[in-house]
Structure 1
Amino acid sequence: MDIWLTAAAILLLLGLSAFFSGSETALTAMSRAAMHRLAEQGSPGARAALKLSEDSERLIGAILLGNNLVNILSASLATAMLTVLLGENGVAWATLVMTVLVLVFAEVMPKTYAISNPERAATRVAPVISVVVRVFAPVVTVVRFIVRQSLRAFGVRTDPDAHAFAAFEEIRGAIDLHHAEGAVQKDDRDRLLAALDLRNREVAEVMRHRRGIATINADAPPQEILNFCLQSPYTRIPIWRGEAENIVGVIHAKDLLRAVNALILKGGVEAMASFDVSKVAMEPWFVPDTTSLDEQMREFLRRRTHFALVVDEYGALQGLITLEDILEEIVGDIADEHDLEAEGVRPEPDGGFVVEGSATIRDLNRLCEWKLPDEVATTIAGLVIHEAQTIPTVGQVFRFHNFRFEVLERQRNQITRLRVRPLGGAPTQGAA
């Protein structure tokens, strides 16, 4: 009878060991996002699992304490039972038998189940593990103190509240992983990563440079201003006075047409001579070129406007940025029937690409699956000038970052067109 009771106790302890092993795997492998969704739907097990995950060190300590207790106790009982049955050989047989039983039924099998269904398993075991954690809390606290002091003696400092990866980096890693596995398409990956990058990128990286801004003199004749605005593909036109960089207002096409229409209805075409564009223009909004895109987008939404002028630390005009420019960083080019068609990246038969000098390195990396550095320059022309340490002439060829760069066109001090070809080992998947 004693032998049968001992065998039953061993089996019970093996079951508890399997429970602790599976619980450890389930609670560490579960997706916090999925558990949060289940908790919002009213699952008490999900809420308990989320609460346990807030202090992972205490959770793992309690589970390991329970697991080691039942494993050591089961091994001791098996040794005692087999020693009675087999004599001195019982120790060896107990070691062999318990190793197989613990490995197969108390470790591999429950962990395999938990890793294949982590959320379901976590919701089931969390309520029981919560009780275990509370019961073992005093012992775990002492163990944690001993462990930290021991590590400190070797110069290792632990911070249980620190995360190995920031939340954004964890999301980024998950997106890249699922893309590599084929679950996330390239376009979807690019949009998701671009949205995460907004907080790390500045307005200066995506703004339209002042050389490309369509502006008009506020003192120009009314008819000239009206014609200019009607022929422009843009809805908002900055106006300047004195010098081109002295922006004194921004004309909205609708405001301009309303004002002109009111003048003509009131006094006929002759009334246009008294038109003052300054009374129609909106006050310009200037933003620093170091503003992050995430912050700038929030400001656009808060102010309910889509247009801002960008200045540097000295207050000099650098360019302009719109809400559309920021959205294009996420979803790609947004064109309508009034947009000017911009030349894109043209692939060549030899694997090279003819690109505009103003093309941004980030766009080229996304389009062609390249890995050109964008820390030192924003545009491909800027990268070539930075690496060459001079302004190249037409026909010059450079090789750096495992790419070949050939200057095709140059206007004054600006590189306007290049031919870029990856050399051996540079990853590329072609342009769309």
Structure 2
Amino acid sequence: MTTFDTALWLTAGAIIALLIISAFFSGSETALTASSRAKLRALADKGSGGAETALKITEDSERLIGSVLLGNNVVNILSASLATALFTRLFGDSGVALATLVMTLLVLIFAEVMPKTYAITNPERAASLVSRPIRVIVFLLSPIVGTVQILVRAMLGMVGVRTDPDSAVLSYQEEIAGTLALGHSEGAVDKEDRDRLLGALDLGHRTVEEVMLHRSQLETVDIDASPAEIIAQSVNSPHSRLPAWRDDPENIVGVIHVRDLMREVHRVVTEAGGDFSAVATLDISTVAREPYFVPDTTPLDEQMRQFLSQRRHFGLVIDEYGALQGLITLEDILEEIVGEIVDEHDIPTEDPITRLETGAIEIDGTMTIRDLNRAMDWALPDEEANTVAGLVIHEAQQIPEAGQVFQFHGFRFMVVERVENRLTRLRVRKM
């Protein structure tokens, strides 16, 4: 074999080897960036060392991508240079164009599309397989990549772009929420399951004020009323706990638990030999429990932890000035996750949404935007207002009169009924 033949075959072999390395880099990049960290964690917990390594090297995605791209570009440029030299020796000046055509096809098919297609269809498995050699490459190329990162950030800073290498593009909650939304749109996740999971994720972003029962709807007890009146109101109420006030309905001095009250009534009547009139001597203030007050800005997840740790189910909501705003229960928070909870003591209510033949719906103005969105699968914004009436007032910048119509956020709102300054009935239609 002549020296020319030996050099030809060595060059061809080097090109093939470089294409294989390029395919490895391309597939590794796709596998490590497309793989789910949650699935990798599950594999690592089952004993997969490769998955554990993949988790570690993907923590610094900027350094990982920089190392892989550096290695991939080096081998691609080197293979193209060798191919150009080889084809020039074989075909003369026309070898440059021929080498460009052949290498483009080889790199595209065997070093890009094929490995990336495999990696995208099996990202976690592929990431586990390549993680160990990639970790070595990242370690070796770190000094060069670090220098490149500094240069890139400096150049971006010159045009006003600021980068934070420690910040994630999407938080885990946003990633999960996006996955659920995508799964629901593709029919893989039921609406009820999506709503429950999103409700649990949203607890940290919602406050007590958004789900509390407003003070205008509270059922309270005058603690200075006669014991017989208080007993009658308590046993006929659908609620097991009633706030008790003195002098002013907003001056809550205690919370009467029906069970505590009935236990005390039983004791007094029994001691009186069965004479019910003995309840007149009952001191209701000794039965009432100390009220538990909650700031209206408390996040729901924190309030749920407080309820559970203190073994409470009921809290009175106050604003920054200490004024009573409403009440919240553990059940109210749970309903944000699982939806409406109805027990045998709840008063039956009609569907809060009346569907009209025109395609519009009629609702009470106090209905929360969140409940409307969940019921109708809409996406009305709730950043500026909690209720639908509040949203209309915010957008209209006034308190509308009955009959007025507004269009915003892709919906048509009509004020059906107004009582004093409250929008009590609204008609809504999606445009």
What band does the TM-score fall into relative to the shorter chain?
over 0.9
Between the aligned partners of 1:321 and 1:5, the Cα distance in structure 2 is: 78
Q: Equivalent residue for 2:303?
A: 296
- 1:147 is displaced (CA, Å) by 2.6
Amino acid at match of 1:148: R
Asked whether 1:234 is paired with 2:239, we answer yes
Asked whether 1:142 is paired with 2:147, we answer yes
Aligned to 1:188, which of 189, 193, 201?
193
Asked whether 1:40 is paired with 2:45, we answer yes
Q: Equivalent residue for 1:310?
A: 317
Moved more, 335-344 or 79-88: 79-88
Amino acid at match of 2:314: F
Corresponding residue SS for 1:315: coil
Amino acid at match of 1:190: D
Deviations 1:270-302 (A, max 9, x none): 432221111111100111112222221121112
Deviations 1:359-392 (A, max 9, x none): 1122112212334333333222333344445544
Q: Does the CA contact (< 8 Å) of 1:25 and 1:114 recur in 2?
A: yes
Report the CA distance shift for 1:388/1:62 in structure 2 as closer, same or farther (over 3 A).
Answer: closer
Q: Equivalent residue for 2:83?
A: 78
Asked whether 1:50 is paired with 2:55, we answer yes
Q: Does the CA contact (< 8 Å) of 1:39 and 1:46 recur in 2?
A: yes
Amino acid at match of 1:97: V
Q: Equivalent residue for 1:211?
A: 216
Asked whether 1:357 is paired with 2:365, we answer yes
Aligned to 2:123, which of 118, 127, 143?
118
Corresponding residue SS for 2:279: helix
Q: Does the CA contact (< 8 Å) of 1:195 and 1:330 recur in 2?
A: yes
Q: What is the TM-score with the length of structure 2 in the denominator?
A: 0.92
Deviations 1:216-251 (A, max 9, x none): 111222222111111000011111111211111111
Amino acid at match of 2:84: T
Amino acid at match of 2:312: T
Aligned to 1:338, which of 341, 345, 366?
345
Q: Equivalent residue for 1:271?
A: 278
Q: Does the CA contact (< 8 Å) of 2:26 and 2:111 recur in 1?
A: yes
Q: Equivalent residue for 1:429?
A: none
Report the CA distance shift for 1:29/1:387 in structure 2 as closer, same or farther (over 3 A).
Answer: closer
Q: What is the TM-score with the length of structure 1 in the denominator?
A: 0.92
Q: Equivalent residue for 2:35?
A: 30
Q: Does the CA contact (< 8 Å) of 1:6 and 1:81 recur in 2?
A: yes
Q: Percent identity?
A: 60
Structure 2 unaligned residues grouped into runs of 5+: 1-5
Between the aligned partners of 2:327 and 2:265, the Cα distance in structure 1 is: 26
Report the CA distance shift for 1:63/1:286 in structure 2 as closer, same or farther (over 3 A).
Answer: same
Deviations 1:36-57 (A, max 9, x none): 1111111100111011111111
Between the aligned partners of 1:62 and 1:175, the Cα distance in structure 2 is: 33
Q: Equivalent residue for 1:202?
A: 207
Report the CA distance shift for 1:339/1:76 in structure 2 as closer, same or farther (over 3 A).
Answer: same
Equivalenced residues, count: 422
Amino acid at match of 1:18: A
Q: Equivalent residue for 2:290?
A: 283
Q: Equivalent residue for 1:416?
A: 424
Corresponding residue SS for 1:309: strand
Corresponding residue SS for 1:339: coil
Deviations 1:12-36 (A, max 9, x none): 1111110011001101111111111
Moved more, 219-228 or 402-411: 402-411
Between the aligned partners of 2:372 and 2:310, the Cα distance in structure 1 is: 32
Corresponding residue SS for 1:244: strand
Q: Does the CA contact (< 8 Å) of 1:397 and 1:404 recur in 2?
A: no
Between the aligned partners of 1:238 and 1:95, the Cα distance in structure 2 is: 83
Between the aligned partners of 1:280 and 1:61, the Cα distance in structure 2 is: 69
Q: How does 1:52-71 map to 2 (within 5 A)?
A: 52-71=57-76
- 1:403 is displaced (CA, Å) by 3.7
Moved more, 48-57 or 338-347: 338-347
Q: Does the CA contact (< 8 Å) of 2:396 and 2:406 recur in 1?
A: no
Report the CA distance shift for 1:23/1:276 in structure 2 as closer, same or farther (over 3 A).
Answer: same
Corresponding residue SS for 1:260: helix
Between the aligned partners of 2:398 and 2:95, the Cα distance in structure 1 is: 83
Between the aligned partners of 1:102 and 1:5, the Cα distance in structure 2 is: 19
Amino acid at match of 1:52: I
Between the aligned partners of 2:305 and 2:340, the Cα distance in structure 1 is: 20
Between the aligned partners of 2:349 and 2:418, the Cα distance in structure 1 is: 18
The CA RMSD over aligned residues, in Å, is 1.9
Between the aligned partners of 1:90 and 1:386, the Cα distance in structure 2 is: 71
